[in-house]
């Protein structure tokens, strides 16, 4: 069953965040995931949404998502994201 990783981020430092973006695909492409969407022009239909960027990734399993996210390579790169933005990252199960 597929799982989806959703990142809702507010970018505080675009220059520093660009360092994260530059290295993202090189690392991500080593894992069995798919980048489905990246959007900074979200259409909010209900409620409040303060994030400036939403990212949607799909993985074949929770183990695959965590293998990428917890890898030393990604965690080293993510330090740029941690320093340049704040928000939440969640993993949800897809429907079977």
Domain boundaries, position 72? 3-42+50-93
- Per-residue pLDDT, averaged over 21-50, amounts to 97
What confidence score (pLDDT) does residue 35 get? 98
Burial 56-95 (b: 16+ CB within 10 A, else e): ebbbeeeebbebbbeeeebeebbebbeebbebeeeeeeee
- Per-residue pLDDT, averaged over 68-82, amounts to 98
pLDDT above 70 coverage of the chain, percent: 100
What confidence score (pLDDT) does residue 21 get? 97
Check pLDDT > 90 for residue 23.
yes
Mean pLDDT over all residues of the chain? 97
How many domains would you assign to the chain?
1
Q: Domain of 10: which CATH number?
A: 3.30.70.100
């Amino acid at each position: 069953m597929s799982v989806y990783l959703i990142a809702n981020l507010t970018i505080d430092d675009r220059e520093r965040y660009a360092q994260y973006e530059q290295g993202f695909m090189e690392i991500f492409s080593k894992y069995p995931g798919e980048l489905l969407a990246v959007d900074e022009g979200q259409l909010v239909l209900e409620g409040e949404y303060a994030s400036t960027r939403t990212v949607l990734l799909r993985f074949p399993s929770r183990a695959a998502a965590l293998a990428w996210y917890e890898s030393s390579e990604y965690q080293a790169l993510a330090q740029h994201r941690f320093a340049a933005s704040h928000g939440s990252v969640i993993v949800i199960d897809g429907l079977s």
